[in-house]
Structure 1
């Protein structure tokens, strides 16, 4: 196993920069630069020198023994002054040492996975935590990183192993009279896990939205004030506004943070019948994106609803251009800001209500694994109900469900995923 090193903190000028070294030669490498090492997991102030004895920097040095580090290997960390030249000099000095090489993207985390310090779901949670921009994303990613998916998968796995063991006991006694009918306990175990997994599958889309962002589409007739409203929400000129109908031809997106939730607000083309081919394409795109959105804000022009799209129960009906005309209900003026706070509060309230149904699993890969497990367990349940003669088939279906759950945390069937997952990590992580 080679020893790897990299800058573990962000590039650029900073008060402190952290360089991480991991592998069998990590402590020797740190000793070569620092002269001596502090006790494991205790920091020590040292002068770092290159091979010629020139002082590179004064730094805090920490070392971790194998089994007690992030990667599970021997690790040394050098906390330097964050000048670009200082970091470059120390990295150059490490590169001149034997048996060391620069780490590849995500290689420290990959070693943590290979050494059993993290499971695959935790690796994905770490990637999400690094990318998190809102409070909801941070909380969700931290929950996954803490091992919540693995803990639940282990609980489900334990129940299914127990159920499979009971069935296999009946297979062993196939030529004898089995003293106890195990089917009631087996069905109880299957039903308990099925209930949990169905809840997870149902809440997976919400969890994925928290990770990737909810979409809110502003829809309405041409000249209803959609682009003006988008600009007011964004606090900048994100969309061109004009008194001429059909100005917006494509979907314009603005990313926002509403109550800690990531939200992309969509300004769509005005919905109307048109002879203009280009505008017609814009209308079709508007309808497609609006139907796919998590929430729609119907911005009325003189009380008129757009054709071609029916509001869902949670969608918001808003009277636009409130500065020009009186009216009832939720009223908004993108020009003056009237009603803007109320609209943001309503959108946030609807999305927060949906976020409460988020599952522990957060990715499409997780959802598909859960669906495979559900399918196998439903088949196993039917086989159990068909009698003891079908016990072997039921046990095999349960083993298929267990394999599906194992793929959640990386026990099986993940080699083809690893390169894709770690490609999103930066060098040093």
Structure 2
């Protein structure tokens, strides 16, 4: 298979990759020779009729020590559209060659054991990363952070399973430990491992980083919510009007603050009376958005703020009420005095949001788990949790089966078991040539 693996032309360089048993013959056919392995070589490429295509840099990587585990060739071309199209056309008419499907290079790397499933998912996230936090997390996965942790857990499971097998099959040997102490040691080891898995499950989900933290702006009508979101995104996203009920739906936009992806939402003003049918629907949606929010920016009276674990109480529209003693007393109970119109308090709000957001992200050196990985890890943890008062606690056969099922669940994280159904969906997310 072959594909353009660099950006869409025109570009300075266009990299065409060829993988599989025909990679060597294809390279020799275009360049008239097979260059030395793993050494850059300059050559004039020609089509089947001998017409010149481009003067390009060639790289030849014999398998299996390659990115795909197969023979692999790279053609570093001048990145014009016509040049790339001509080379691809020349490859396309060669026997045994075809264009690659989306994600096929990465899938072959997975199937040949060059990377595991967790690393492949990390690579997909790395390609889609738009913010610094997304890049750091994706690179951690792609570099094998999760895979190494899973390998360590599996080694410990194997040690426990070996103890159970020794007791079950060789209990009559003099040098094999027997009796209740074996089961107790297994349960202790399973409990320690379950605790470690629980710590990983307590970390933020990777989807929070990939999709962005939800920051919802809410409050009563005419509290300055639309003005605030316009000031945050620095454009007229929401209609600003003195008429109550102007915003009737949730208006959402993506925004990155200090490298952290966030989804800011402007919501309908919340009030108990006077709303028509359509505005009432908007209020219901606003309340649902508040419940699902990671961070809430409340622009109403502090005593009316929803019960939310991460709420910032904002005394908004400061340019209108300063000098009003009652309003200033009310504002003193808020976390922040702000005017989106004059800019007062905007920098402080930025800092407060970022500081709160960082508490929802993994700490430095930690890796977050995807929902699929969390599900498998949670299942493994459940198999490792044994009630010491139950009959299972003294039955080595049942304990050994629990260990086996826990190991099978962990295998799904790295792609060693039970993942065939979702491989097409995963690798279909990649671009062609990756």
- Judge conservation of contact 1:318–1:332 (CA < 8 Å) in 2: yes
1:60 to 38, 57, 61: 57
- Judge conservation of contact 1:222–1:269 (CA < 8 Å) in 2: yes
1:320 to 299, 303, 316: 316
- Judge conservation of contact 1:183–1:384 (CA < 8 Å) in 2: no
Please tell me whether residue 339 in structure 1 is matched to residue 345 in structure 2: yes
Residue 161 to residue 224, structure 1, CA distance change in 2 (3 Å): same
SS of structure 2 residue aligned to 1:183: helix
SS of structure 1 residue aligned to 2:430: coil
- Judge conservation of contact 2:11–2:80 (CA < 8 Å) in 1: yes
Shift of the alpha carbon at 1:184?
4.0
Structure 1 match to 2:325: none
Query: TM-score, normalised on structure 2?
Result: 0.92
Query: TM-score, normalised on structure 1?
Result: 0.93
- Judge conservation of contact 1:19–1:77 (CA < 8 Å) in 2: yes
Structure 2 match to 1:92: 89
Equivalent-residue separation in structure 2 for 1:253 and 1:185 (angstroms) = 53
Query: Unmatched 5+ residue regions in structure 1?
Result: none
Residue 276 to residue 383, structure 1, CA distance change in 2 (3 Å): same
> Which range moves more in the overlay, 179-188 or 233-242?
179-188
Structure 1 match to 2:400: 395
Shift of the alpha carbon at 1:151?
0.8
> Which range moves more in the overlay, 372-381 or 260-269?
372-381
- Judge conservation of contact 1:271–1:306 (CA < 8 Å) in 2: no
- Judge conservation of contact 2:38–2:60 (CA < 8 Å) in 1: yes
Residue 102 to residue 166, structure 1, CA distance change in 2 (3 Å): same
Shift of the alpha carbon at 1:45?
1.2
Residue 398 to residue 233, structure 1, CA distance change in 2 (3 Å): same
Equivalent-residue separation in structure 1 for 2:229 and 2:105 (angstroms) = 42
SS of structure 2 residue aligned to 1:14: coil
Structure 2 match to 1:376: 383
1:76 to 60, 73, 76: 73
Structure 1 match to 2:114: 117
Please tell me whether residue 244 in structure 1 is matched to residue 250 in structure 2: no
SS of structure 2 residue aligned to 1:347: helix
SS of structure 1 residue aligned to 2:17: strand
Equivalent-residue separation in structure 1 for 2:303 and 2:270 (angstroms) = 9
Residue 319 to residue 54, structure 1, CA distance change in 2 (3 Å): same
Please tell me whether residue 136 in structure 1 is matched to residue 136 in structure 2: no
Structure 2 match to 1:227: 226
Equivalent-residue separation in structure 1 for 2:122 and 2:30 (angstroms) = 34
Equivalent-residue separation in structure 1 for 2:94 and 2:185 (angstroms) = 61
Query: Unmatched 5+ residue regions in structure 2?
Result: 323-327
Equivalent-residue separation in structure 1 for 2:100 and 2:262 (angstroms) = 35
Please tell me whether residue 172 in structure 1 is matched to residue 178 in structure 2: no
SS of structure 2 residue aligned to 1:102: coil
Shift of the alpha carbon at 1:36?
2.0
Equivalent-residue separation in structure 2 for 1:306 and 1:269 (angstroms) = 16
Equivalent-residue separation in structure 2 for 1:382 and 1:396 (angstroms) = 18
